[in-house]
Structure 1
Amino acid sequence: MTTTPIAVVAHAASDVRVEEVPEPTPAAHEAVVAVAYGGICGSDLHYWQHGAAGESILRAPMVLGHEVSGVVAIAAADGSGPAAGTPVTVHPATPDSYLGSAARLPHQDGAFATRVALPATMLRALPEGLDLRTAALAEPAAVAWHGVGQAGDVRGMRALVIGSGPIGALAVAVLRHHGAAEIVASDLHELPLRIAREVGADRTIDARDADALAAVEADVVVESSGTLPGLQTAIRSARRGGTVVLLGLQRSGDVAVPIATAITRELHLVGSFRFRDEIDEVVAALADGSLHVAPVVTHVLGAADALAGLEVARDASVSSKVLLRFAIPDGRRAADDDADDETRA
């Protein structure tokens, strides 16, 4: 605990800095976590590129990051939560806040920092055998788990995932875990299509091939691209009576979709946003190996190189999930700790 902590701080559009920050001062119900890995999310990219994520506008400097794993350095003084030395992943929500969010003022700082004070209720102790790097995927995997859950029981069904970026690929992995009979995935780029196959897709389709996608006639379509063409394709690719899960966040305002098709096919359109407590099921599935997510991580960079990590993460043709590596506390090791910055794309 002697190294001066650093954090990845968004100041404005195109202005993200890696800065020295004070040691965290925890409240009685908070633990200090030495962060090991942090995954760059689409919201982090939006704050960096646009100074806003949807309607959450950056009005003051804010620490980014909500997909993190680490080790408890100081347990909560009130006795709640895991003991010091416990490896953990983080559920980034409280009833009225989310880590790394500018939805309110003052903003809620995130956890892209060497050490952070977090409510003990956010911490999930890792089961034996679940490494810190994989555990950094628990939060986005929970988003995918919740999204697939919005479709109900998918066992024996044909599923189509539109957009195979990090969340789409994780949705493929969850669909495989949940027993879908056939999984088809689409994207514009070969790298995400390859990753989708590696985590469980039976076949993949170029997103520009509208006829091939429409011919899928899926029981369940998970729209994870967050694009208007993706949403239009999702509706056109669902069979009569099928379900379309709107997992990708569309832009604010009105969007033009083939609603007549949804009506005449009696489709079920259901939204999905973040998750509730599914992260607990995800942690268990990651630990027992039944949820296969390792191929989703394509890059691991040191936290000091956060700007380079953001640059890589915004190019979907060369990356999927990009992790920032902070300290690996107490001598613990993980899959890439002996290596320099990793690239598997």
Structure 2
Amino acid sequence: MSRRDSYAACPRAWTCAPLRSPNRWPLPCMEAAGAAASLQTMLDATRRGGTVVQLGILPRDAVSISLSELGLRELTVFGSQRFETELDEAVELLAEHKFLAEVISHDFPLAEAEAAFAMALDSTASSKVVIKVGALEA
């Protein structure tokens, strides 16, 4: 297959994800873990002309990532603030108003994660589904 044939039909084919490219993810790529290694993986995996959205909250300390590919591959990186103080406020609200805990409709042990995801997909039967991991399973 030629390079030309490997791209999706698009007026600007150089910005489209290759149809047969297992080592490049389609755009946009979203980093949500908040780890420098995860951000580097997104930068490495995003194809030429692609976009990376930084959702994860990286540490305040300096992190080491390679930025040379931003210009070489014409990548666009956007930052997005998920929350800053909202989490503290949410925890306070849950503590003050016990009825809000009813938002969690189901909880599953880690061993039943597949069933948990199946339940979460059914919005008629669930609202928030929790998978209990590690010491929290007790």
TM-score category (smaller protein): 0.3 to 0.5
Determine which structure has the larger helix proportion and give its number: 2
TM-score when normalising by structure 1: 0.20
Determine which structure has the larger strand proportion and give its number: 1
Larger relative contact order (Cα-Cα within 8 Å, sequence gap ≥ 6): 1
